[in-house]
Structure 1
Amino acid sequence: MRTSILKSLKPDIIVEMLEMAVVFENWKKVMETADILYQCVQRIYEERQYHKAMKLSIPHVNLERPLVYYFGFSHLMCGMAHQNQGAYEQARECIYKYAELGWMEDLEEEDIQVVEEFRFLAKTNLYAVDILSGNIELVEEYVAFLQDNLEEILPGLNTILQTALMYHLDVTDILHTFAEQIDEFESYEDAENISYYYSYCYHLALYYRKYNRLQDAVGLTVRAMQLADQSGNDGQFKRCTALFESLRESATAEQISGYRQLLMQCLDEYETERK
């Protein structure tokens, strides 16, 4: 990308674009935007290093976070996109890139804290990629890691459920282990956790369907639909609708009523927006 174009870009706006692309699971867009963010901050960093070497004043760029954050975030998002597309080796390569960001010069205390945060994210995401790619012997170790890092339980259980579905594992005991924390998922309000909670409900519904807990699967599917609607994600909503229809014969009258009510609510919202 041309330097003139890169200079006109604002890293924090690119971060917002990336977050939106992740919410809508547009993984191609995530990778493209992550690459633009990387090029943008690489230009800023190189310009700073040039001015420092030439003993010139460092050009000011208005950033909401330390520069090292944007390097880490670009690799993190690219790795997430690869992981969600099943490209685990490519995801692992991205993880290695943000696992060690200490190569940057002139890191201050705030920068070093960011480096440590990305190092931690690399550790937990490497667990996820290794397990999803078939190293299921790490599941027990991963559970112990989650018990020591409670903030990672929601995305961690989502990873475990996906692994269970892929490799035919019984993870009922693991779900019981985290029952207290699972009860708290409903209280999450930020977009990232709502997205994780949707995925958790959807994959747990698939898991319960596999083990013939069909009414439980129906209830979780409806909850996932509510979360998809809350996030404005039509793709997720359609996926849940298809799952519900596959389970309709096992649904109670109350569950079917709740499902229809949700559909009518969505229709009313659509008609309101058109007026």
Structure 2
Amino acid sequence: MRISILKSLKPDIIVEMLKMAVAFENWKKVMETADILYQCVQRIYEERQYHKAMNLPIPYVQLERPLVYYFGLSHQMCGMAYQHQGAYEQARECIYKYAELGWMEDLEEEGMLVVEEFRFLAKNNLYAVDILSGNIELVEEYVAFLQDHPEEILPGLNTILQAALMYHLDVGDTLHTLAEQIDEFESYEDVENVSYYYSYCYHLAMYYRKYDRLQDAVGLTLQAMQLADQSGNDGQFKRCTALFESLREFATAEQIGEYREMLMQCLDEYGTDSISL
């Protein structure tokens, strides 16, 4: 990208664009935007280092966070996109890049804290990529890690459930072990955790469907549907609709009524007068 264009970009605005692309699971856009963010902050860093070497005043760039944060985030988001597309080796390479950001100069105390945060995220995300790529012997160790870091239990359970579906694992004991923390998930309200909770409900519904706990699967599908609607994510809502239809014969009359009500609300939002369901 041309230097003149990079100079006109603001890292914090690019971060917001990244978050939007992640929310809509547009992984191609996530990777493109993460690359733009990396190029932008790389230019800022190189310019700072040049001015420092030449004993010139350091150019001021307004940033909400230390520069190292944007380097780490660009690699983390790119890794997330690769992971969601099943490209685990490429995801692992991205993780290695933000696992050690201490190479940057002039980090100061705030920057060093960011380096430590990304080092922790890298450890957590490396567990996820390794397990999803087939190293299922790590599940028990990962559960112990999650118990030591409760804030990671929700995304961690998503990883374990996905692995269970991919590799035919029985994770009933894991769900029992983390039951107390699982009960707290419904109280989450921030966008990121609502998204994780949707994913948890959806994957658990798929897991229960696979193991013939069909009534439980129906209830979780409806819950995931509500969260998808709450988040305004049409792709997630469509997946839940397809999953519910595959389970419809096992739903109670009350659950079918709840399902119809959600669909009617969607129709009302799009201005459709009426339809028989």
With the length of structure 2 as denominator, give the TM-score of the two structures.
Answer: 0.97
Instruction: Report the counterpart of residue 84 of structure 2 in structure 1.
Output: 84
Figure out how many residues of one structure are paired with residues of the other and give that number.
272
Instruction: Report the counterpart of residue 112 of structure 2 in structure 1.
Output: 112
Percentage of matched positions with identical amino acids: 88
Measure the CA separation in 2 of the matches of 1:86 and 1:80.
10
Measure the CA separation in 2 of the matches of 1:13 and 1:256.
43
1:230-266, CA deviations, whole angstroms, 9 ceiling, x for partnerless residues? 1111111001100000000010101101101111112
| 1:244-255 superposed matches below 5 A | 244-255=244-255
**TM-aligned CA deviation for residue 226 of structure 1:** 0.7
| 1:203-218 superposed matches below 5 A | 203-218=203-218
**TM-aligned CA deviation for residue 4 of structure 1:** 0.3
| 1:226-241 superposed matches below 5 A | 226-241=226-241
Q: Which amino acid aligns with 1:20?
A: M
Kindly indicate whether residue 56 of structure 2 is the aligned counterpart of residue 52 of structure 1: no
**TM-aligned CA deviation for residue 193 of structure 1:** 0.6
Measure the CA separation in 1 of the matches of 2:110 and 2:2.
31
Measure the CA separation in 2 of the matches of 1:271 and 1:229.
16
**TM-aligned CA deviation for residue 79 of structure 1:** 0.2
Instruction: Report the counterpart of residue 259 of structure 1 in structure 2.
Output: 259
| 1:35-184 superposed matches below 5 A | 35-184=35-184
**TM-aligned CA deviation for residue 166 of structure 1:** 0.3
SS of corresponding position for 1:140: helix
Measure the CA separation in 2 of the matches of 1:184 and 1:55.
54
Instruction: Report the counterpart of residue 185 of structure 1 in structure 2.
Output: 185
**TM-aligned CA deviation for residue 99 of structure 1:** 0.1
Measure the CA separation in 2 of the matches of 1:8 and 1:270.
38
Measure the CA separation in 2 of the matches of 1:31 and 1:264.
36
Measure the CA separation in 2 of the matches of 1:270 and 1:221.
23
**TM-aligned CA deviation for residue 270 of structure 1:** 2.4
Q: Which amino acid aligns with 2:144?
A: A
User: What are the ranges of 5 or more consecutive residues in structure 1 without an aligned counterpart?
Assistant: none
Q: Which amino acid aligns with 2:68?
A: V
Q: Which region of structure 1 is more displaced relative to structure 2, 68-77 or 259-268?
A: 259-268
Q: Which amino acid aligns with 1:175?
A: L
Instruction: Report the counterpart of residue 275 of structure 2 in structure 1.
Output: none
1:152-188, CA deviations, whole angstroms, 9 ceiling, x for partnerless residues? 0000000000000000000011001111111111111
Measure the CA separation in 2 of the matches of 1:29 and 1:229.
22
Instruction: Report the counterpart of residue 18 of structure 2 in structure 1.
Output: 18
Measure the CA separation in 1 of the matches of 2:175 and 2:196.
16
Q: Which amino acid aligns with 1:117?
A: E
**TM-aligned CA deviation for residue 107 of structure 1:** 1.1
Instruction: Report the counterpart of residue 219 of structure 1 in structure 2.
Output: 219
Measure the CA separation in 1 of the matches of 2:270 and 2:62.
39
Measure the CA separation in 2 of the matches of 1:24 and 1:137.
32
Measure the CA separation in 2 of the matches of 1:217 and 1:100.
41
Q: Which amino acid aligns with 1:255?
A: Q
Measure the CA separation in 2 of the matches of 1:101 and 1:33.
20
RMSD (Å), alpha carbons: 0.8
**TM-aligned CA deviation for residue 271 of structure 1:** 2.1
Instruction: Report the counterpart of residue 195 of structure 1 in structure 2.
Output: 195
Measure the CA separation in 2 of the matches of 1:108 and 1:271.
55
